[in-house]
Each structure stands twice: as C-alpha cells, then as structure tokens.
Amino acid sequence: MLAVESIVDLRREIALLRRQGKRIAFVPTMGNLHAGHLKLAQIARQHADAVVASIYVNPLQFGPKEDLAAYPRTPEQDKKGLEAEKTDILFMPTDAEMYPRGLDVMTKVEVPALGDILCGQFRPGHFRGVTTVVNRLFNLVQPDVAVFGKKDYQQLMLIKLMVADLGLPIEIVGVDTVREADGLAMSSRNNYLSPAERQTAPKLYATLGRLRDRILKEGAVRPGMEADTARELETAGFRPDYISIRRAADLAEAGPQDKALVILAAAWLGRTRLIDNLEVSVQI
C-alpha cells in the first residue's frame, strides 16, 4: 500500500492506475478505523481492480462545540488495517491540502431540504461539510465506485443525491452496518462511552428492533409509535434527539400506505451522541 499526503502524488498514482486500465473504488473515512470501515474496503475490492482509501478528519462537518479536537486519531493502526485489506493507495491530506484558501472561503456544496432534517436539524451545517469534503475527494480521486456504510443512512442518501444532481459518473454502494456482538453499531465515537454507558448503549438498537416488530405486527406506521419509542429510550437512560420513521427511498415522513421504511434515531448517552437505523419492509 502506498500512502500519500499531497494531491500531486495522489493524482500521479491515480493516473498510473488509469493507464493500466484499472477500475477504481474509493473508501473515504475519518480514521480511527474499526471492523465496519475495513468491511467497506472489502466490499470496495469486490467492485474494482484497485482500492483507494482516505483518512481525513474534516473540520467543516464539526460544529463549534463539537468534538473535532477530541476525535480519536490512530493513523499507524489505521495504516496496518488498510494494508491488511490490500488497499492500493491511502490518501492522508492535511487541512492546507484540502482547503488551501481556508475553510471560510472555499466553495461549499450543499444538498438542501434533505440536509436540513433529522441530524441536519440538530447539527446545523454538518451535512454541508460532509458533501463539500466528499465532493472534493471525488474530484481528486475520480473513482468509478465509492463505498459508504449505512450506519449514517441520511449521509448515504445525501451523497447519492449529490452525485445524481451534479452528474458525477460514480456508482455509490451502501454497506450494511457492522455491529458488535450485543448489537451496538460500530462507531469511532463508541470510544467515548464509559464502561457503564457501554453496557447501556446496545439498548438503542434493541429499542429500534421493538419498534420494527410493532410496525410489522400492525402492518403500517401508526400515530404515537415514535413518541412511545422516545419514552422507552429515556427510561433506559438516553436523551433522544429524534426517533423518526421515514420512507426508505427519500426519507420523507412515512404514512400508513408506505411499505419500504427506515427507522432512524439519534440519542445522547452521557456525552456521546449515538446514531442508528433499521430498515423495515412491511408485507403487503
């Protein structure tokens, strides 16, 4: 695996892969890699001849009171993990390389409406930072396919929309969430959990599972389901930002007639904000 930090070096290596006629898959990450990230690299390999990964903690997607400074950084461990997955190129740019004119004046890319609901409502500007950095990385790497996890379902939908709206010739592949044995979705922010909180955290996924079972039993979304689930989480010790049942195709609010659904949740446990989701297919 070749690790590069500059755009010049990245483009030189990408050009070499292109001259060799190779199909390129891309896995963008913020580092502190776990088995979920490495699964993305494995799936990327199934879709292409060469895999390019990036590690960049993007300041544009952090709010002023969020955890940019504390976000875990483990570059040497990450390199070993990606090398074990036979990643071809690892791009590890600096802020100056990514935003040479400065964060405040660089061109921004935004997907309106969808980026303002759910997590976008509680983290203003977050998704603008995500789509801006992903679009820049797409332009630098110019992959044929890019792979993202479904754990952040809203992010995946936003990137798909951005790619469609901007006419980017990139296939977007979503990969199912990788979970711990007790059901907790793998996340770098799980490192923030205290031992007691780590014991409680799997209850988020379990609670979503009970909501899914209720939807399947009743055959449709009914009023009060989200509020009931929020109260259940509060009783377990969480502070929910939201519990929302949405149409899986576009994240519009789901009605009784909708059958392909996704339950999305964001909730605080101590100082850690956890997100999760669960897709639901109601049988007609």
What is the assigned CATH class of domain 188-277? alpha beta
**Pair 54, 29: CB distance under 8 Å:** yes
- 34 catalytic? Reply is no
Rounded mean pLDDT for each run of 10 residues along the chain, 284 residues in total: 98 98 98 97 98 98 93 96 98 98 97 97 97 98 98 98 98 98 97 97 98 96 96 98 97 94 98 98 87
Q: Specify the pLDDT at position 65.
A: 87
Nearest CA to 264 out of 250, 272, 256 is that of 250
State the catalytic residue, choosing from 34, 37, 47, 126.
37
What is the assigned CATH class of domain 2-175? alpha beta
The ranges of the chain annotated as CATH 3.40.50.620 are 2-175
Q: Specify the pLDDT at position 6.
A: 98
Q: What residues have CB less than 8 Å from 37, skipping those under 6 apart?
A: 27, 29, 81, 149
Burial class, 246, CB count within 10 angstroms (exposed 0-12 / middle 13-18 / buried 19+): buried
Place of tokens 């890019």: 146
Task: Kindly report each contact of residues 182-187 with a partner whose C-beta sits within 8 Å and lies 24 or more positions away, as own/partner.
Answer: 183/209, 185/36, 185/151, 185/274, 185/275, 185/276, 186/34, 186/35, 186/36, 186/151, 187/34, 187/36, 187/151, 187/274, 187/275
**Pair 228, 208: CB distance under 8 Å:** no
**Pair 241, 267: CB distance under 8 Å:** yes
Tokens of 29: 């990450």
Walk across the sheet containing 24-29 and list its strands: 2-4, 89-91, 50-55, 24-29, 145-149, 171-175
Q: Specify the pLDDT at position 137.
A: 98
The ranges of the chain annotated as CATH 3.30.1300.10 are 188-277
Q: Specify the pLDDT at position 255.
A: 87
| N residues, the chain | 284
